[in-house]
Amino acid sequence: MLLTAGVWPEKGGAVIRRSFYIEVLAVLIISAALLCSNLWADEAERYAVQAGSFKDANSGLNLLGDLRLEGFDCQSVKVGKSTSVVCGDFDNSIDAERLKLSMRNVGYRGASLVTSLDWENPDKAMSKDYLTVQIGSYSEWENAEKVLDDLEKKGIPCRSRMIDGLFKVYCGQFANIKDVVKLKMKLRRSGYYDTFPASLPMWPFFVDVPVPVIPASPAPAEPALPAPPSKPLPVPRELYRKAPEPAPPATEPSPVAVERKDEGIDASIFGKGGGHFHPFASVTGYYSDNIYSSGQNKVADLNTVLTGGMWVAAPGTKKAMLEGSSGALPGGVQKSSLIRERQRSYQAYMLYKVDAERYSTYDPGNFVNHKGEGLFALNGAAGHRLEVSGIYLRSHDAKGEAPSLELGKFT
C-alpha cells in the first residue's frame, strides 16, 4: 500500500488529513491481527489418540505394527524411559474423537484422547511433569471402565491410561501438591481409600477434553411427489375403446415333483466300498513226539510258525478270490469260482504270504515258505467270464514223504 502525505491549502485539506490518519490506523490494526493470528497458529493445540505407553520398547513396537496392519496412521514416541504409541494428528477434537471410537470398535479399548501444545517439540515437553491422583491399575478394560463411570456419576472427571499392559485410572492434573491433597480427600469421602499421588510426563499429556457432540449426518431427503392437478386432464377418445382380451396361455403339464433322498456321498461314486487291503498275521505253535513221521527213531520237538501277509482286491471285497484246492492243478494252486452278490465288470486280486517255521532243536527243519497268487477277471454282459490267475509257491513236502530225512523243497 502506497501512502502519500501532504498539506493542501484548499478547503478540503482537513478532510484529506483525517482520511490519511484513518488509513494508517487501519494498516496498524490489520498488521497486529495478522501477527496475533500467526502466533496463535504456532501455539495451536493439536489432538491425537494414544493407544498405549510401555517401558519395554518391543511392546510398543508390537502394538505399533498391529495398529498399522489395521490401517491406522500411528507413530512411536520415546518419552524418557517409556515408549508411547500415538495415532493421528488433528487440529480439532472431533476428528480425534472419531479416530478413538474407530480404534475402540476394533478392540483397542485403551485408546484415549490426548493433546499437546508442544506437538512439534516433544523434547521440550518431556522435561515437564504434572501431578495427578492414581485410583488403581486394572488388567481388564471393563474394570477400569466401571471405575470411570462411577467417578463420573460422582462428579469427579477421570481418565484411563494404558501403561505396561495395564489400564491405570488417573484423576486431575495439577501443578502443586495442595490441589492433589484436596482431590485425594474428596476421593476418600467418595469411598476410594487407596488412592495416591502420582507424577506423569506432559508428553503426551492428558487433559479432560469434553467429548464433542459429533453432528449426525443429515438423512437423505425423500423425493417430493408431484402435486395432483387441480383439474382432471382430458382423456383421449381412443383410450375409451375396450382392449381385446389376450389369448389364454397354452396349458402345459405341471412338473411332477419327485422327492429325492439325499444319502450323502461316499466311496461308492468311484465304484469302491472299502475292503481293498487285508493284512493278516498269526503265531502258531505245536508239539510233536514224532517229527519224522517214522516207525523208528522217533524224535520229539516243538515247532513255532510265524505267519504274515496281505491280500489286495480292486474293487474292494470282503472275500478271498481263490478258495478251495484241486489236486489236478500243478503245485496245489487254489481255485474257486465264487458266486458273488453283485456281478462286477472286472475284478483284480493279489495275495502274498510268508510262513516261517522254527524248531526248538531240529535245525534242518527250519524253513521259510513263500506264497504269492494273483487273479484278474472280466465279466461280460451275457454271463461270460474271462479269468487269468497265477501262483508262486516256495515250500517243502510233508516230512515222511521224502526218501530221506531232509526236507523235500520245491518252488
Q: Which residues of the chain have pLDDT under 50?
A: 1-12, 38-43, 118-127, 203-214, 235, 238-240, 267-272, 323-334, 337-341, 401-404
CATH number at residue 154: 3.30.70.1070
For 55, other C-beta atoms within 10 Å of its C-beta total 13
- Asked whether residue 196 falls in the same domain as residue 294, the answer is no
Which residues have CB under 8 Å from 42's CB, separation 6+? none
pLDDT value at residue 252: 64
Cis-peptide into 197, omega within 30 deg: no
* Position 325 in a domain: yes
Separation CA 319–CA 71 (nearest Å): 64
Domain count for the chain: 2
- Asked whether residue 184 falls in the same domain as residue 59, the answer is yes
b vs e for 214-248, b when ≥16 Cβ sit within 10 Å of the residue's Cβ? Answer: eeeeeeeeeeeeeeeeeeeeeeeeeeeeeeeeeee
- Asked whether residue 197 falls in the same domain as residue 277, the answer is no
**Which domain-ending residue is among 147, 172, 201?**
201
pLDDT value at residue 1: 40
The answer to whether 200 and 170 have CB atoms below 8 angstroms apart is yes
* Position 391 in a domain: yes
Report the SS3 class of residue 317.
coil
* Position 66 in a domain: yes
- Asked whether residue 65 falls in the same domain as residue 194, the answer is yes
- Asked whether residue 153 falls in the same domain as residue 279, the answer is no
How does pLDDT run across 110-132, given as a tens digit for each residue? 788 777 654 444 444 444 566 78
Report the SS3 class of residue 368.
strand
DSSP 401: S
Which domain does 51 fall in, by range? 46-201
Category of 165 on φ-ψ map: left (φ > 0), alpha (ψ -120 to 50) or beta: left
Q: Which three cell numbers stand for residue 303?
A: 515247532
The answer to whether 168 and 141 have CB atoms below 8 angstroms apart is no
Following DSSP, what letter does each residue of 5-35 receive, concatenated? -----STTHHHHHHHHHHHHHHHHHHHHHHH
**Which domain-ending residue is among 153, 179, 201?**
201
> Among all chains, which residue has been given the C-alpha cell 433322498?
261
- Asked whether residue 193 falls in the same domain as residue 50, the answer is yes
Bridge pairing between strands 46-54 and 112-116: antiparallel
Separation CA 35–CA 27 (nearest Å): 12
* Position 215 in a domain: no
pLDDT value at residue 3: 42
Separation CA 87–CA 100 (nearest Å): 9
* Position 250 in a domain: no
- Asked whether residue 282 falls in the same domain as residue 194, the answer is no
At residue 19, what is the residue type?
S
- Asked whether residue 160 falls in the same domain as residue 303, the answer is no
**Which domain-ending residue is among 185, 201, 217?**
201
* Position 40 in a domain: no
- Asked whether residue 56 falls in the same domain as residue 145, the answer is yes
Separation CA 274–CA 268 (nearest Å): 9
Separation CA 409–CA 411 (nearest Å): 7
> Among all chains, which residue has been given the C-alpha cell 501438591?
177
* Position 299 in a domain: yes
* Nearest CA-CA partner of 152 in 194, 190, 100: 190
The answer to whether 132 and 172 have CB atoms below 8 angstroms apart is yes
pLDDT value at residue 26: 73
Virtual CA dihedral for 95, 100, 101, 103, nearest 10 degrees? 130
